[in-house]
Amino acid sequence: MSVSTGVATFDPAAANAAATDRGTTAAVPAGSPVTEATAGTLEITAPAGAGTAADQATASAQTASASETDASAASTGETETSTTTSETAKKDAKRNAASGKKKLSRAARQRLKASKAVAVAKSKIGAPYRYGATGPHAFDCSGFVQYAWRKAGVRIPRVTTAQYRRIKPKVSWKDLRPGDLLFFNGKGHVGMYVGKGKMIHSPSSGKRVRIDKLSAWRKASFSGAVRPGM
């Protein structure tokens, strides 16, 4: 029902419907005659939470920012931890490497040199014997072993008697290792042990550097052995 106020026409039912659509409550009951003076103002109650929408948006933004800050801090912490771990690992590796060098015993260093001396000697298989020759293309017996050990970084005397006298330690037949020098016939001949019961040597005039088995005859004429590089 419409009510004429003399200035404007007011429809309470329409107002109530409109207010309901907007989520408000009309103070004027439907069907009541209302004048402009008493029509009053519609009392409108905002929906729950509508007035705090901006505050909620601000709070959400602050929460998101705090989360990002925490995540960034966590990421920074992880990066710092990773960097520290990497640096520690590098330091440990350096210490281990240094420790490894210190732990390489004198005997181990000698074996490395002996291995090289044997390799050099084998590379000269077929070179001719020549009295007084010390290489690189011809050798006598003592010149041959001197050449091989010099290439391995170890200087030894030139002749057999001095080689046996000055090189230490002395080695027994049963304790021979590759690189050891074997002397025969009262230190008149020398060869180099290469393992598996064999030696390499420059035998005598008209012959060439070769590998021979340590036969019973060789053992019978054996007069001592030494281990260069210690």
What is the DSSP code (8-state) at residue 153? T
| Catalytic choice (26, 141, 145, 154) | 141
The CA distance from 18 to 40, in Å, is 16
In the residue annotation, 141 being an active-site residue is answered as: yes
The CA distance from 230 to 153, in Å, is 12
| Catalytic choice (110, 201, 202, 209) | 201
Phi, psi of 59 (to 5 degrees): -60, -40
| Catalytic choice (116, 124, 151, 189) | 189
- Using DSSP's 3-state secondary structure scheme, residue 209 falls into coil
Angle at 132 between CA 126 and CA 136, to 5 degrees: 45
Query: Nearest 10 degrees: CA dihedral of 200, 202, 206, 208?
Result: 50
In the residue annotation, 189 being an active-site residue is answered as: yes
Catalytic residues: 141, 189, 201
